[in-house]
Amino acid sequence: MNDSTQGQTGRPGTPGGAADPGRPEPVARSEGQAGGFHSDSPGREALDWLYRFVTAIELAPAVAVHSVDARGIVRFWNHACAQLFGIPASHALGRPFRELVSHLERQAEFDAAIAEIWREGSAPAPRDWHVETAAGRRLWLHSNHFPVKREGATQQVFCMEVDITGRKQVEENLTSAARVFENAHEGMILMDAEYRVQAVNPAFTTITGYAAADIVGATLASLPWGETETGFYESIWSQLDGNDHWQGEVAAMRKNGERYPAWVALTTIRDPRGEAISYMAMLSDISERKRAEDRVRHQAEHDPLTGLPNRALFLDRMHHALATWRRQRDNFAVLFLDLDRFKAINDNNGHQAGDAVLREVAARLRGCVRRVDTISRLGGDEFVVLLADIGGADQAAHVAQAVMQAVARPVEVGESLFTLSASIGVAICPTDGTDVDTLMHHADVAMYHAKQNGRDSFRFFSPEMNARVLERGVLEQRLRQALDRGEFLLEYQPELEVGSGRVIGVEALIRWRHPERGLLLPHDFLPVAEECGLIVPIGDWVLREACRQARAWRDEGHDVTVAVNLSDVQFLHGRLLDTVDEALAQSGLAPECLDLEITEGAIMRGDAGLDGIVEALRSRGVQLTIDRFGTGLSSLSSLRCYPLSKLKIDRSFVSDIEHDPVDAALIPAIIAVARSLRLRVIAEGVETAEQLRFLQQHGCDQYQGFYAAGASSRPDFGPAPS
């Protein structure tokens, strides 16, 4: 073959380019001396051999063959090359190979290898190259370069290339899988078709403490899950057979014996024929997740202050108790507990002290019940106890008594010591109800009656209680409307001088003109008003109305003061001073004509804030009287701390002075106490001449009661002074 054959359309190497119908036309073309082979006098036999060799290379279906000259110009490009690189021979021949194919990340290394072939004239070892073609295809090629020489000199460098992209992808996938296996945070276990462990990754060792040597060769059922339930593994096998996948939480065990919750996912690996050849298990330690879930669940189901179950969790356990009762007929009890006068602790000592008291009460309640029982804080100072599987009412009564004793122990908060009591209502299933709402309501009703009957006690529910509670509910609803409808009125009881019998003041007494029940006295509705939060607005109305009426009588020439009873709640209420100022300003009544009556209990529960209220009232000129003196726990030293005006002797002492020597002796003692404190004394409930005479003999200053006059909307002041 010589240069005269270039560009001819005929078969290379045939004289005159005549076509040979028995041989296929090569797809590729070669430039220069084909294949670098030559013969000084090529005969017909040599040309035929050369033709067959070039044709075989050009038409080789799996091996891409190309050649370049010393300048890197492509001189040969067979059919497989065109298919592999996506570049036809017509576009490849005569162009630099570097324009057609670039060697990714290793171009300089490739160029150096080709240069060495030209320089040394020897074939290097085959190599794998990652390339990108001008057509945009990225391939992995296994390349074998070798020089073709003539007369000892390299004429061209041929390259035979096989596409190994698929194999490389498999290798990369395997490498990636191995990398994942080695570096995964989850434990991974590879098993054979018989569930025998073939390999475990480092994470498995970290999680379980078992090294590969401890595990490899063991079966899945012998792995340290900690499961002993019969049929556990059989259920896994059945799911794997049907779904090729199983996952679930198991109780696992570390090598050191520590138990922990684990999440395990098992997957079947099948060959192309669908046969199960291996299994992969992934294991995660979910201890922290379970702890986080427990924390969230605890926060959602427990009271943040006391840590006790909240209403939602308590009701859930009530439903569970009811379900148990329906199956097994195990009776249970509900105890509804309310701390007596707890609000005063918050009002007088602040909510921090109140919170500390509630936490201590919760701790004491825990000590009064069994582990199967449930204590819940419903809110404020209300607690409820579920006593599961009780033998009868006696057991519930025993627990209620234990709770009362526990609550009654003094509670120390900082430098303060608080003494508490509790009122408890008890309802029993099924006697008092067979559903949650009924049992809770009946326990609440019983608790209310415990409060109504003196507090510091417990009561079992009865239908009669419920009827009274329903009546109270109606009364409370009507009471809320009474202020707006103007149904309250005041009657006034005169206060008289013991010596002269002259009316020097009046005490305002509230009445309710009930649309259906007629005229109601204070004891018929004021306790309800205090419990439902209406005592302050009702008391404010009494104060304003009494001041207005007193000013009207003084304008008529009657020199009287007006006494107004303050409930403990009203006296300790933050707006008392503002209410007094408004009542005096609106009515025009002088402060010294207003006498506010407060109880001993309010004085005893007072603090520095109470001292400020008393001082502010006295600085305005308002008089202060201790009402029902002798029924409380005040001492002489405590009374000396307050600038009071007067003591009022309770009617319980006056009513029996004619027959009870003890009461007859107490009244002179009370008067002596008042004199030592420079206070005036007024006795209430005087109904006979003998009682009045006794008071005169012992120096009482004033009295009031039905002996002198009953209460009316306008007392008899006698003739107005001239």
Any idea where the domains of the chain sit in the sequence?
Answer: 3-167, 184-290, 302-461, 485-703
**Hey, what amino acid is at 684?**
E
pLDDT of the residue at 555: 94
- pLDDT per residue as tens digits for the range 128-182: 999 999 888 899 999 999 898 888 888 899 999 999 888 888 888 877 777 888 8
CATH topology of domain 3-167: Beta-Lactamase (3.30.450)
**Percent of the chain topping pLDDT 70:** 86
**What does the block give as tokens for 220?**
């899945």
CA–CA separation, 468 vs 516, rounded Å? 17
- Which run of H or E residues covers position 653? helix 651-654
pTM: 0.48
Closest CA to 357 of 371, 375, 341, 374: 341
pLDDT band at 56 (very low <50, low <70, confident <90, very high): low
| 184-290 and 485-703 agree in CATH topology | no
CA–CA separation, 99 vs 96, rounded Å? 6
Domain 485-703 belongs in CATH node 3.40.50.1000: no
CA–CA separation, 679 vs 627, rounded Å? 13
CA dihedral 177, 182, 184, 187 (to 10 degrees): 110
**What does the block give as tokens for 19?**
């076509």
pLDDT band at 108 (very low <50, low <70, confident <90, very high): very high
CA–CA separation, 48 vs 90, rounded Å? 25
Mean pLDDT of the chain: 84
- pLDDT per residue as tens digits for the range 440-496: 999 999 998 898 888 888 898 887 766 776 677 788 889 989 988 999 999 999 999
User: Would you give the DSSP letter of residue 73?
Assistant: B
Asked if residues 358 and 381 have their Cβ atoms less than 8 Å apart, the reply is: yes
Asked if residues 314 and 386 have their Cβ atoms less than 8 Å apart, the reply is: yes
pLDDT of the residue at 374: 95
**Multiple choice CATH, 302-461, 3.30.70.270, 3.10.20.90, 3.10.180.10, 3.90.79.10:** 3.30.70.270
Query: DSSP 3-state assignment of 265?
Result: strand
Is the Cα torsion angle 205, 211, 214, 219 positive or negative in sign?
Answer: positive
- pLDDT per residue as tens digits for the range 281-331: 899 999 999 898 888 888 888 999 999 999 999 999 999 999 999 998 888
Beta strands in 600-715 (DSSP E): 623-629, 646-649, 680-683, 702-703
Q: Are strands 503-514 and 518-520 parallel, antiparallel or unpaired?
A: antiparallel
**Multiple choice CATH, 184-290, 3.30.450.20, 3.60.10.10, 3.30.300.10, 3.40.50.2000:** 3.30.450.20
